[in-house]
Structure 1
Amino acid sequence: MTPEPLRDQEYRAPVLFSERVFDGRVWDVRADTFTFGDGELTREYQEHPGAVAVLAVDEADRVLLIKQYRHPIGHRDWELPAGLLDVDGEGAQDAAVRELAEEADLVAADWAPLCRFFSSPGGSSEEIIVYRATGLTATADAFERTGEEAELELRWAPLDEVLEAVLDGRLRNSILAHAVLTEAVLRGRR
C-alpha cells in the first residue's frame, strides 16, 4: 500500500473563547482558548493579514534585492519586494504587482506563483505567498517612499550569489531564503 503524499492537514480545534488582547497598527495579538485532546489550551498569537513577496528576475537572470531597515532585528537586511495583504478586496497577485511597483518602480509582464508558506506557525497566522516576476520594465513614475522605505537600496545579483549568501548565513531574511531555495531547486529539476 502506497502511503498518502505528504501534505499539511487543515484542522480547526473548537474555539471556546477568543479575545483580541492587543490591537496593533499592522497586526493584532489574539488569545484563543480551545479544546484539544481531552483538555483545553490557551494560546496567544499574532493575528496577521498575510503577505506577498516578489522574486523579480531580469533578462540577465539576476534577482532583485532590496535592503531595508527592520527595527525588531536591528538590521538593514537584504530581502525581496514584499508587503501586507491589507487592502480590502485586493487579491494576492494584485498585491504583489502593487508592491513591486511601490518598492522597486517596476512592472512585470509575466507572473507565476513560486511558493507559499507559514512564517512562524507556532506564534503567527501569517501566510506568505511568493510570486516569480519576469519581463520587467520601469513604471511610468517613481513612487514616493516614506518611513523605512525612504532609505531602500536596490541591487541586482545573480541567483547563485544570493543562494551562496543564504547558505553561508550572510543573508537571513526568511522570505528571501525560502524563495531563492525554491527557485534553485526548481531550476535543478528542469
Structure 2
Amino acid sequence: MTIKDTPEEWEVRATDTPFVGGKTSVRTDDVVMPDGSVARRDYQVHPGSVAVLALDDEDRVLLIRQYRHPVRQRLWEIPAGLLDVPGENPLRAAQRELYEEAHVKAEDWRVLTDVYTTPGGCDEAVRIFLARGLSAVEGERFAAEHEETDMEHARVPVGELVRGVLAGELHNNCLVVGALSLVAAREGDGLDALRPAEAPWPARPFES
C-alpha cells in the first residue's frame, strides 16, 4: 500500500457562506456521507499561505516574534504570509515576505514541505520553503503596520529550536513543522535533494 494523500470530493447537496471577512470566509456545506446520510460541515475558506525557514551560514534559523490575538500569546514564528492574489506564484510571495518581515534576501530556495494546517475546520494550505545564502536587503525597510509594528527578530540555532518544540515551548505550526522537517531532510537524502522552489503545488495551483 502506498502511503499518499489523494484527491477526492464527496457530493455537496447545499452550500452557504454565512460570513465573509477581509481575507477569509466561513462556508457551510451539506455533505453526503458514505452511508447516504447528509452531515453539515462548517469550515473556514482560506487563500493559502507561504512560510520561510531561513537558515544562515551559522546554522541558525531567522525568527520573528509577534502577538497573535486568537491564542492570546506572543509567538516565535518563521516569516510567513497570505497568498493574497489568486494564482500568485508562492516563491515570489515567500521572497516578498522574507523581505518585508526580516529585510533579508536568499540565494538558494527549496520546498521544505507542504501542509494543511487544520484540515478538519479550514482549507488553508501552506508551502514552507527553505531559504539559504542569506544577506541583508539594501534600501528602506518595509513600512510595518498593526501587530508587525511590535515585531522582534532573532537567529536561533537549529538544535535549540528542536529542543523548544519538543519541550512544548514553541507552538507556531510553520515553525514546528519547518524545524522538524529540516532535521528530517538532513538525516535523509540531504537538503539539496529537496524539491525545487517552483515544484507543482496541487493544493494551490499557481502561474509561473
TM-score (norm 2): 0.87
Residue in structure 1 matching 2:60, options 50, 62, 66 = 62
- Is residue 172 from structure 1 mapped to residue 174 from structure 2 by the alignment? no
CA distance, structure 2, for counterparts of residue 178 and residue 19 of structure 1: 33
Q: How far off its partner does 1:88 sit? A: 3.6
- Deviating beyond 4 angstroms after TM superposition, the runs of 4 or more aligned structure 1 residues are none
Unaligned runs of 5+ in 1: none
**Partner residue of 1:28?**
25
CA distance, structure 2, for counterparts of residue 139 and residue 15 of structure 1: 48
- Of stretches 55-64 and 12-21 in structure 1, the one that deviates more from structure 2 is 12-21
Q: How far off its partner does 1:89 sit? A: 3.8
- Is residue 142 from structure 1 mapped to residue 137 from structure 2 by the alignment? no
**Partner residue of 2:204?**
none
Partner amino acid, structure 2, of 1:70: R
Q: How far off its partner does 1:174 sit? A: 1.3
CA distance, structure 1, for counterparts of residue 152 and residue 113 of structure 2: 25
Q: How far off its partner does 1:153 sit? A: 0.5
Percent identity, please: 41
- Of stretches 47-56 and 25-34 in structure 1, the one that deviates more from structure 2 is 25-34
- Of stretches 152-161 and 27-36 in structure 1, the one that deviates more from structure 2 is 27-36
- Is residue 8 from structure 1 mapped to residue 5 from structure 2 by the alignment? yes
- Of stretches 174-183 and 83-92 in structure 1, the one that deviates more from structure 2 is 83-92
Q: How far off its partner does 1:87 sit? A: 2.1
**Partner residue of 1:100?**
98
Residue aligned with 2:126, SS: strand
User: CA-atom RMSD, angstroms?
Assistant: 1.0
Q: How far off its partner does 1:26 sit? A: 2.1
TM-score (norm 1): 0.95
- Is residue 156 from structure 1 mapped to residue 135 from structure 2 by the alignment? no
- Is residue 132 from structure 1 mapped to residue 130 from structure 2 by the alignment? yes
Partner amino acid, structure 1, of 2:55: V
- Of stretches 88-97 and 60-69 in structure 1, the one that deviates more from structure 2 is 88-97
CA distance, structure 1, for counterparts of residue 48 and residue 70 of structure 2: 18
CA distance, structure 2, for counterparts of residue 105 and residue 142 of structure 1: 6
**Partner residue of 1:19?**
16
CA distance, structure 1, for counterparts of residue 16 and residue 102 of structure 2: 38
Residue in structure 2 matching 1:48, options 46, 49, 54 = 46
Q: How far off its partner does 1:69 sit? A: 0.6
Unaligned runs of 5+ in 2: 191-208
CA distance, structure 1, for counterparts of residue 40 and residue 168 of structure 2: 35
- Is residue 109 from structure 1 mapped to residue 77 from structure 2 by the alignment? no
Partner amino acid, structure 1, of 2:16: E
Residue aligned with 1:113, SS: strand
